[in-house]
Amino acid sequence: MKTKSRGRITMALAVNTSRFDNITMAPPDPILGVSEAFKADTSDMKLNLGVGAYRTEELQPYVLKVVKKAENLMLERGENKEYLPIEGLAAFNKATAELLFGADNPVLHQQRVATIQGLSGTGSLRVAAALIERYFPGAKVLISSPTWGNHKNIFNDARVPWSEYRYYDPKTVGLDFDGMIADIKAAPDGSFVLLHGCAHNPTGIDPTPEQWEKIADVIQEKNHIPFFDVAYQGFASGSLDEDASSVRLFAARGMELLVAQSYSKNLGLYAERVGAINVLCSSADAAVRVKSQLKRIARPMYSNPPVHGARIVANVVGNPDFFNEWKEEMEMMAGRIKSVRQKLYNNLSAKDKSGKDWSFILKQIGMFSFTGLNKAQSDNMTDKWHVYMTKDGRISLAGLSAAKCEYLADAIIDSYHNVS
């Protein structure tokens, strides 16, 4: 590039450096990266069991019929796109708290729940993490081992310390209940205990009702604060009430608690980013103050939440016909996942002549199954069989069709027995 300077021609050399040269390349996301690798695979046999998103029997994305009806209603009303308040859509907040706790729950009538709309489950967890960091300095969050891949990222980003409690027992491919209880007991008094309300991700292993009672006993004894992540209400068992029973048990004991909610799975609103953070307090006065601080945290973080998904939820829950149709569709989706879970088990049991007991697959619940495969075996699933999954052995049964169950069983048996 030539430039004039006081009558002389000077040469300015372009310097190919950046102020951002010290920023390193981030590693690929362990879950979303699976989908990217799947898309690049040209095999006709490829199967994406990585991301937790519901698919039809034809393995296509599914938009619920009731969602389409709710959206048509929104068009008919000619609703605008004005900003929502910081706390979100009032009709949504009312509906989501009632779905979680039950419309007749005294905690709602006593106005002891602070609810704000969040950016699905992730955003709601992140707001709660900021609340913990700000008002419970030094408090630790106990996280199950293993847990959803984003939990640790969220607390790390919020600078909230965390440690793990035992959950998965590889020997039984079941719940290490004694280890879980021991670790919760050993934690410093007043810790936050992150619990999966239903359909534990990634294991699909949930405590029994009796075990939930014992977990609540220990948390109360230690003066811990339960923090539920409820991402699958209605999608695990097919029943909204059954899948909220753990949260309602703790609420009925008079415990203060936090609950993050998501409507990505149960209404298929993955891209709408609609969820909520609820804080159950011991008094209405405390709930008012907590809500004010949740709003204060949200304001510089994202200002206010999106309206479209919130209106869908409010319309579905607020219309009795829509609400019943939604419950039927949830039962259908949950039923399809239960069906392929059973068929996968049947194929594994019939084809594997080693005598291995695969019944743990039937004891798990929700969209995931924790296969017990290690990283090398999971790599074999992908490299040899074109089955894409997370490296901890988790598969999403929501992405499996009945027609592919036999193929998947062959892949699992081969990987389990022939790869160490």
Residues annotated as catalytic are 148, 229, 265
Supply φ then ψ for residue 113, to 5 degrees.
Answer: -110, 125
Q: Which residues pair with 277 in a beta bridge?
A: 116, 260
Cα–Cα dist 8/206, whole Å: 79
Pick the closest to residue 409 from 320, 362, 346, 367 (CA basis): 346
SS3 call for 96:
helix
**Range list of H helices, 195-305:** 209-221, 240-243, 245-252, 284-302
Q: Are strands 162-166 and 168-169 parallel, antiparallel or unpaired?
A: unpaired
Cα–Cα dist 141/231, whole Å: 19
Amino acid present at 340: V
Judge contact between 212 and 246, C-beta under 8 A.
yes
Q: Which residues pair with 48 in a beta bridge?
A: 388
Pick the closest to residue 323 from 77, 5, 95 (CA basis): 95
H-run or E-run covering 175: strand 174-175
Cα–Cα dist 246/226, whole Å: 11
H-run or E-run covering 343: helix 320-351
Buried b (16+ CB within 10 A) or exposed e, 262-293: bbbbbbbbbebbbbbbbbbbeeeeebeebbeb
Supply φ then ψ for residue 209, to 5 degrees.
Answer: -55, -40
Strand order in the sheet with 257-262: 113-119, 274-280, 257-262, 225-230, 192-196, 141-145, 162-166
